[in-house]
Chain A
Amino acid sequence: MTLHCPAPIPARAGIGLRSQHYREILEEPPPVAWMETHPENYFGEGGAPRQLLEHIRSQYPLSFHGVGLSIGSTDPIDSTHLRKLKALVDRFQPTFVSEHLSWSSVDGRFLNDLLPLPYTEESLNLVCAKIDEIQTELQRPLLIENVTQYLTWPDSTIPEGEFMAEVVKRSGCGILLDLNNLYVNAVNLHLDPVKFLDVIPPDAVQEIHLAGFDRVGRWLVDTHGRAVYPEVWSLYQWTIYHFGPRPTLIEWDTNLPPLAELVEQASQADAILRACYATPA
């Protein structure tokens, strides 16, 4: 049964839906434009989480951000997982469905993390074939997110940005641009984020993610456990200025703050988006 038609997500800020905030959201729906959640959290077909998602969906446009399809794995797509995702998408009609440009399983064994691919022709062919399979099943375009990397594979032959652009060109998918990931990679791996953005086709970018990171030794780690850092806000302003306004999500998954703080972060993003609208072309 179809619950709703997809509601358009405006080029405004949304927040991630987390169970710790359920009660607050139900009591006083926060002033944000949309919400995003991990579909895997609702694969169980009953129970309170599903009921809550029904309620949220009746009040906000929704986006699904998957973490389990492992599209960069040489294993075939887990058909059970894809079937569950399809059922959920049909039921809740999210505006966007996204996944990560990463892998997390091999030989049927899952690592349940978003692991980086070597950017090679072999990977490109594999990823495009997987995206094609997913899009065919879901009957809608997928958005692909750039992931955090704590290593570069020595024999990658294609720069990451060009790799993503080619995936878009071949598969017809869109891009979920995670600016925190881009910043974290830039610092950890001494990369130039602007160089990455320069080769990304602007029209393909349909959603942006912002989040906070933690410092662990020499690394910046993408924990989604803090407020967005000033450096990432600056990258966001640059991106919005060059790409135009895009639906923007504040991701905060660990060390969760009160809902009001999350909403405040969303309003900061909205202020930047409004400023962009006000800027003459």
Chain B
Amino acid sequence: MPPLHELQRAFAAAMIEGKGLTAMTSMRVGPAWRSLALYRRLIRNNYVQALTITYPMLRRLIGGRYFSTFARGYLKRYPSKSGDLFLYGQHFSFFLFTLEAPRVLVELARLEWACHEISQAVEKPAFTLGWFEGLAAVDPACVKVHLQPTARLLRFSSPVHVVWQTLQPESVAVAEIGRPLPEEGAYLLLTRVEGKIRVAELAALDYRLLTAMADGRQVDHVEQMAMEVDPQFDFARFIAALMEMNALVGVSMETSL
């Protein structure tokens, strides 16, 4: 018998790449290929199941049969690197892209992975509007806000959130921040509120402002950006809407109070 490491390496190759276990096929019970075929089937099913949990709307859209085919292809290209299956499937969107799958499938996968990530992210204590107002004495040039770890900003070239929403078993309301919907593509803010994922469509300017905040720009700088584009922009309302969506966390100041 080969050393354990060689045996495990050959077994893994047989499972994922379909290579034979030439040196080890003299099993005592039954033809070896039957055992190996069963293990291959069970292992593949594990991954298909894991991806089904992470990408339920994608599966619903394309059907179980096509989804399983994609999932098996993904397994060959991206073997698991962790004993924690929650981490499996990160590159599924890119994999679909390399297959030249329809854009909406690629983007739906990207949206669902973001939902998956934030579903178990650690939420930091959100700040209240009152607390924010308490900073009046602070030089606004020093104040920065950050995105919640449970929030994601995403830009899509298709209105994928509409597809995602339509596929939900229970209808989820799309929150808005007071801007008209773009005709093509979508700027989305994903947040987690009381354990549930919320998807809000942002106007291009809102997205730009929030991206600037996430990149560490000071709040007053972001406000100036807004005023340059739209002098009537209600910045306080914008901040309040973001806080209501649990999108912002903490405030850092470059100088102490």
Contacts and interface: CB of A to CB of B under 8 A. Distances in A.
B7 A115 contact: no
B82 A78 contact: yes
Given A47-B192, A118-B1, A150 B120 contact: no
A181 interface: no
Given A46-B120, A218-B30, A150 B195 contact: no
A39 to B, nearest CB: 10
B82 A68 contact: yes
Given A68-B83, A68-B84, A112-B88, A74 B5 contact: yes
Contacts of A150: 35, 38-39
Nearest to B32: A151
B8 A103 contact: yes
B157 interface: no
A113 B82 contact: no
Given A126-B4, A151-B32, A47 B79 contact: no
A84 B26 CA distance: 40
B83 A69 contact: yes
B135 interface: no
Interface stretch (B9-17, B138-146, B212-220, B227-235): B9-17
Interface string A89-127: 000000000000001111111111101011010110010
Most buried by B among A44, A49, A122: A44
A215 interface: no
A117 B11 CA distance: 11
Contacts of A218: 30, 34
A159 to B, nearest CB: 13
A81 interface: yes
A106 B8 contact: yes
Given A81-B82, A153-B1, A113 B8 contact: no
Q: Chain A: interface residue count, which band?
A: 35 or more
B121 A47 contact: yes
Contacts of B5: 74, 106
A49 B120 contact: yes
Contacts of A234: none
Contacts of B150: 46-47
Choose among A51, A74, A80 the residue with the greatest number of B CB atoms under 10 Å from its CB: A74
A74 B83 contact: no
Interface in A210-240: 216-219, 221
Interface in B1-49: 1, 3-5, 7-9, 11-12, 15-16, 24, 26-30, 32, 34-36, 38-39, 42-43, 46-47
A43 B88 CA distance: 13
A84 B38 CA distance: 32
Interface of B: 1, 3-5, 7-9, 11-12, 15-16, 24, 26-30, 32, 34-36, 38-39, 42-43, 46-47, 50, 79-86, 88, 119-123, 149-150, 192, 195
Given A44-B121, A189-B29, 17 more contacts: A40-B84, A44-B119, A45-B122, A50-B120, A104-B83, A106-B8, A107-B9, A110-B82, A110-B83, A112-B80, A112-B83, A118-B4, A123-B4, A152-B27, A154-B1, A218-B34, A221-B42
Interface of A: 40-41, 43-51, 67-70, 73-74, 78, 80-81, 84, 103-113, 115, 117-118, 120, 122-123, 126, 150-155, 188-190, 216-219, 221
14 contacts: A46-B149, A69-B83, A70-B83, A74-B5, A78-B83, A104-B83, A106-B9, A109-B81, A110-B81, A110-B83, A112-B88, A151-B36, A151-B39, A153-B1
